Amino acid sequence: MPDAAVAVATLLDGVRRPLLRAVVRVEPARRIFVARNERVLAGALAAVATSFAVAAWQPLVALWLGAALFGVPHVVSGLRHVGVRERPAPATRVFIALAVVVGAVELLGSGTRLADAAVRAYVVLFAAAALVELGARRWLVGTAIVAAAALALVSPRLTLIALAHLHGLGAVAWFTRRARARGVVVWPFVAAVALVMLGGALGAFDRLWPATLWAPRSAAASIAAEAAGSALGNASATALHRALFLYAFGQALHFVIWLRLVPELERPSKTPQTFRRALAGFEADFGRAARPLLVACVVAAPLLLAGGGPAREAYFALTYFHVGLEAAALARSPKVALA
C-alpha cells in the first residue's frame, strides 16, 4: 500500500471523525448513516437532484468538469465492481481488451471513415461481450441484442447518439437490479429519474435553460462535439437543448452511481468505513494494479483540466471500453452475496 496514500487516508479520517460523531447524534441523520435502506435511497434521491441541477445550470460546464474530475475514477470504480468482483467470462475480457485497442487506433488516426469503422467495431465487440455474459438460455434477449447490433452497424451516427443516452440509463438499471438483489428499496429513485427524463423530453424545464452556454476555450471544440453527439445533426435548437439536458443529466447521474451509490450499496457495515480501510479494500481488489490506478485517478483531473480538447479526446478513446463492460455486466445474471 503506498505510504503517501496511507498518510492522506489517515489525515482525512482524522478530519472526518469528529464531523461524523456530531452528525450521528442528530435524528434523522443518524438513521440515514446507520441503516442501509435509508442511506442508499437518500443518496440516490440526492444524486437525482444534483444531476438535475448541473444539467439545467450549465450543461457544457457539467460535461467538462464531470469528465475531468470524475471520468477516470468512475471508470476505475466500474471496472472494480463489474470487471474484478464479478469476474466476467474469459471471452468477455478478450472482447473488452480489443475495444481498448480500437480506442487506441482511433486516437492515433483521424477522419470520418476511421470514426465510423471504430463505432462499428465497438458495436460488434460490445454485442459479443453481452452475448457471452447472457448465456444460451435467454435466447430471446440474445436475439434482440443481435438485431440491435445489426441495425447499429448501418448508421454509426445514430448509434453514437443511442449509446450516449443509453450509457447513463444502463448504470441506473444495473444499480436498481443490484439494490433489489440486496433488498434495498429504490423505486422512488427510479420514479424520480423517469420524471426528470420525461419532463426534459417534453420541455417542462425549457424555462430553466441558460441564456448563454459556457465552456472553457481550450476544450470548447471537444465539448461542443460531445454535446452535438447527443442529438441528430438536423435537430432544431429546442430539440438540441432538450437532448443536451438529458445527456448531461444522464452523465452526471452515471458518475454518482459508480462513485457513490454503488459503493454505499456494497458496504456491509452500518457506519461509514474509514478511508484507510477503503484504501486497503481497493488494494485487495486490484493487487499490483492498485498503485498505478490510484495515480491515474489523481493525475487525471489536472491533466484533463489543463490539456484541453486533446486530453479529453484521449480520455474518451482510451476509456470507451467501459461502455461495453457495463453492458456485459447488465446482460449477466446477477450473482449477489447478501451482506
CB half-sphere exposure, 85, CA atoms < 13 A: 19
Q: What is the pLDDT of residues 71-113, one digit of tens each?
A: 999 999 999 999 999 889 999 999 999 999 999 999 888 777 8
Task: State what percent of residues in the chain have pLDDT above 90.
Answer: 62
CB distance 329 to 88 below 8 Å: yes
DSSP assignment of 260-329:
IIHHHHH--SSSPPPHHHHHHHHHHHHGGGHHHHHHHHHHHHHHHHHHHHHHHHHHHHHHTHHHHHHHHH
Provide the grid cell at 281. 479494500
CB distance 48 to 253 below 8 Å: yes
R_g over Cα of the chain: 20
Which pLDDT belongs to residue 334?
A: 65
Q: Which of 129-133, 155-159, 335-339 has the lowest mean pLDDT?
A: 335-339
Query: What are the φ/ψ torsions at residue 332 (nearest 5 degrees)?
Result: -70, 140
Mean pLDDT taken over the chain:
89
CB distance 186 to 176 below 8 Å: yes
Q: Give the C-alpha distances (Å, rounded to integers) separating 214 from 122, 211, 217, 314.
A: 31, 10, 9, 22
Which pLDDT belongs to residue 135?
A: 79
Query: What does the alpha-carbon distance between residue 279 and residue 282 come to, in Å, rounded to a whole number?
Result: 5
Distance separating the N- and C-terminal Cα atoms of the chain = 26
| Helix 321-331 / helix 71-78 crossing angle, nearest 10 deg | 30
CB half-sphere exposure, 162, CA atoms < 13 A: 12
Task: List the one residue out of 252, 246, 242, 243 whose CA is nearest residue 206.
Answer: 242
Q: What is the pLDDT of residues 125-142, one digit of tens each?
A: 999 999 999 876 678 888
Which pLDDT belongs to residue 127?
A: 95
Q: Which of 44-58, 213-227, 259-273 has the highest mean pLDDT?
A: 44-58
pLDDT for residue 242 is more than 60: yes
Confidence label for 323 from pLDDT (cuts 50, 70 and 90): very high
Q: Which of 32-41, 67-76, 166-175, 200-209 has the lowest mean pLDDT?
A: 32-41
Range 283-291 average pLDDT: 93
Say how many C-beta atoms besides its own lie within 10 A of residue 254's C-beta.
24
